C-alpha cells in the first residue's frame, strides 16, 4: 500500500502534468481538451497548492461562455484532428470552438469553496466571476426546466453518458444519417469499458440535429427528440444555486432572483421522486415515463439538501450488493454492468459529492463508508477515471485529473474534515 503522503504528491504531479497553462485536460490521450465540470474539479485540486492557478482555470472556462449564458461542455482551445467529435462536427457559433451542450454546473459550489480559502485576496476575481455564474444558472432556468426539474438534451450533457436512464428515449432514435466516423475513445480505452457503437451513433445523431438549427434553443426545444429531467442536473444546480446566492450576499449583490430559482428547483427536485421505485429517478419529458433507475445520481439528494429515509435504505441495499460503493447503477438490475462506464462502475467524483451531502445531513456512517470506499480504490489502483464495484479493478482513463483533485481535497487521509459550507 502506498502512503497517503506519496499519493498526495502523485495527485499534485497529475494535476501539473495535465495542466495546459490556462486550462487542464481530464487526461492526456482520452480527453485532450477542456471539459466543463472536469475543469471545476481541476480548480478544486489546484487550489490546495496554487490558488492563483485555480482561479485561472475558472476564468478560462468562462472565457468560452456563450452570449445566452451557456457554458459548453467542451472547449477546443487547440486543434486535434484525431479527436472525435471535434469542433467541425459540432458546428457551433461561439467565438471559442466548442460543443453545443453544457454539463452539470458544479462550478459555483467549487468556486465558493476555493474563495473561502482566501476571500480577501481573491475578492476581485470572485466579483468578476459572479455575474458569469449567474448568467449560466439563468440559462438553465430559461431553457432546461420541465415541471421545475432540470432536463438534459443529450446524454453527454448529464455527464452520465451511457446510463440506463436514457435507454428508452435513445431506443426511439433511428440514427439513419450517421456513418463513416472513427471514434477516438475506443482507441485509448478497452471498448468493453465504453458506450457501444449504437449508443455513439445516437449521440452523434443528436449532435447533427442541434447543428441543423445552429444550436438555437427555441428550435431545439421545439424539435426535441431527447429531453429528460435528470437528478444529476437538478440536484447539482440546486446546490450550486444556494452557494451562488451565499457568494452574492457576501459580495453585497441582489440575490432575490437566485433565491426564487432555488425555491423553483426545490419543487422540481420532488417531481423526480418515483413513487413506485421509492427513489429519485430520471423522467422523460416527452413521454412522461420514468426511467426506473436507482443510480449514483439518486444519492445526490443529500448534496442538494434533501432528506429521504427511503434513499438511505437504497444506499444500504446497493452497497451490500458490491464490494465497493457507490455503483453508478443498481447492482440488482439486469442492466448492471460493472465495467461499462455509467452502467455500474464506481465514479470517485460522484462519491465525493454524495459523501459530502451525507456528512452534511448527519449520515456520518454512510459518509464515512463512501469516503473509505473511494480512498481504498485509489490507494489500491491509482488515479483512474472509474472502478469496478465488484472487485475494485481500475477502468477508463488513467492519471485522471478529477480523481487526483478529489483525492487531495476530500478522499486522502490527510485531507482533513474541513466543511464545504
Cα distance between residue 245 and residue 82, in whole Å = 41
Q: Is 385 a catalytic residue?
A: yes
> Cell digits for 340?
461499462
Q: What is the 3-state secondary structure (H, E, C) of the chain?
A: CCCHHHHHHHHHHHHHHCECCCCECCECCCECCEEHHHHHHHHHHHCCCCHHHHHHHHHHHHCCCCCCCCCCCEECCCCCCCCCCCHHHHCCCCCCCECCCCCCCCHHHHHHHHHCCCCCCCHHHHHHHHHHHHHHHHHHHHHCEECCEEEECCHHHHCCCCCHHHHHHHHCCCCCCCCCCCCCHHHHCCHHHCCCHHHHHHHHHHHHHHHHCCCCHHHHHHCCCCCEECHHHHHHHHHHHHHHHHHHHHHCCCCHHHHHHHHHHHHHHHCCEECCCCEECCEECCCCCECCCCEHHHHHHCCCCCCCHHHHHHHHHHHHCCCCCCECECCCCCCCCCCCCCCCCECHHHHHHHHHHHHHCCCHHHHHHHHHHHHHHHHHHCCCCEECCCCCCEECCCCCHHHHHHHHHHHCHHHCCCCCC
The residues pairing with 394 across neighbouring beta strands, listed in sequence order, are 387
Of 38, 57, 157, 161, the active-site residue reads 161
Cα distance between residue 418 and residue 421, in whole Å = 9
Q: Is 161 a catalytic residue?
A: yes
Of 165, 284, 385, 409, the active-site residue reads 385
Distances (CA, A) of 342 to 96, 113, 180, 336, 357: 29, 27, 26, 9, 21
Cα distance between residue 309 and residue 316, in whole Å = 11
The residues pairing with 414 across neighbouring beta strands, listed in sequence order, are none
Question: What are the catalytic residues?
Answer: 161, 385
Amino acid at each position: 500500500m502506498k502512503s497517503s503522503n506519496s499519493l498526495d504528491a502523485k495527485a499534485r504531479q497529475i494535476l501539473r502534468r495535465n495542466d495546459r497553462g490556462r486550462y487542464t485536460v481530464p487526461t492526456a490521450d482520452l480527453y485532450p481538451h477542456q471539459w466543463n465540470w472536469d475543469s471545476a474539479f481541476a480548480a478544486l485540486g489546484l487550489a490546495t497548492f496554487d490558488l492563483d492557478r485555480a482561479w485561472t482555470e475558472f476564468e478560462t472556462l468562462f472565457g468560452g461562455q456563450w452570449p445566452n449564458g451557456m457554458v459548453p461542455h467542451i472547449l477546443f482551445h487547440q486543434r486535434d484532428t484525431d479527436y472525435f467529435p471535434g469542433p467541425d462536427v459540432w458546428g457551433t457559433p461561439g467565438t471559442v470552438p466548442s460543443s453545443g451542450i453544457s454539463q452539470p454546473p458544479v462550478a459555483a459550489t467549487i468556486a465558493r469553496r476555493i474563495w473561502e480559502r482566501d476571500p480577501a485576496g481573491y475578492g476581485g476575481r470572485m466579483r468578476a466571476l459572479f455575474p458569469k455564474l449567474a448568467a449560466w444558472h439563468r440559462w438553465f432556468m430559461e431553457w432546461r426546466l420541465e415541471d421545475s426539474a432540470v432536463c438534459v438534451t443529450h446524454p453527454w450533457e448529464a455527464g452520465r453518458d451511457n446510463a440506463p436512464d436514457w435507454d428508452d428515449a435513445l431506443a426511439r432514435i433511428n440514427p439513419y444519417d450517421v456513418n463513416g466516423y472513427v471514434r477516438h475513445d475506443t482507441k485509448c480505452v478497452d471498448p468493453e469499458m465504453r458506450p457501444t457503437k449504437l449508443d455513439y451513433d445516437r449521440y452523434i445523431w443528436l449532435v447533427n440535429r442541434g447543428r441543423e438549427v445552429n444550436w438555437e434553443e427555441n428550435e431545439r426545444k421545439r424539435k426535441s427528440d431527447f429531453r429528460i429531467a435528470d437528478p444529476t442536473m437538478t440536484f447539482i444546480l440546486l446546490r450550486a444555486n444556494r452557494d451562488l446566492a451565499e457568494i452574492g450576499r457576501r459580495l453585497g449583490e441582489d440575490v432575490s432572483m437566485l433565491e426564487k430559482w432555488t425555491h423553483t428547483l426545490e419543487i422540481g427536485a420532488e417531481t423526480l421522486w418515483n413513487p413506485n421505485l421509492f427513489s429519485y429517478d430520471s423522467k422523460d419529458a416527452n413521454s412522461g415515463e420514468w426511467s426506473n433507475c436507482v443510480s449514483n445520481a439518486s444519492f445526490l439528494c443529500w448534496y442538494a439538501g434533501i432528506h429521504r429515509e427511503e434513499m438511505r435504505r437504497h444506499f444500504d441495499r446497493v452497497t451490500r450488493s458490491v464490494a465497493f460503493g457507490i455503483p453508478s447503477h443498481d447492482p440488482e438490475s439486469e442492466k448492471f454492468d460493472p465495467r461499462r462506464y455509467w452502467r455500474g462502475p464506481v465514479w470517485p467524483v460522484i462519491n465525493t459529492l454524495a459523501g459530502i451531502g451525507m456528512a452534511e445531513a448527519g449520515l456520518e456512517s454512510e459518509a464515512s463508508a463512501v469516503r473509505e470506499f473511494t480512498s481504498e480504490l485509489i490507494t489500491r489502483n491509482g488515479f483512474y477515471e472509474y472502478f469496478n464495484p465488484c472487485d475494485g479493478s481500475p477502468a477508463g482513463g488513467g492519471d485522471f485529473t478529477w480523481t487526483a483533485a478529489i483525492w487531495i481535497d476530500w478522499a486522502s487521509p490527510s485531507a482533513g474534515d474541513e466543511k464545504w459550507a
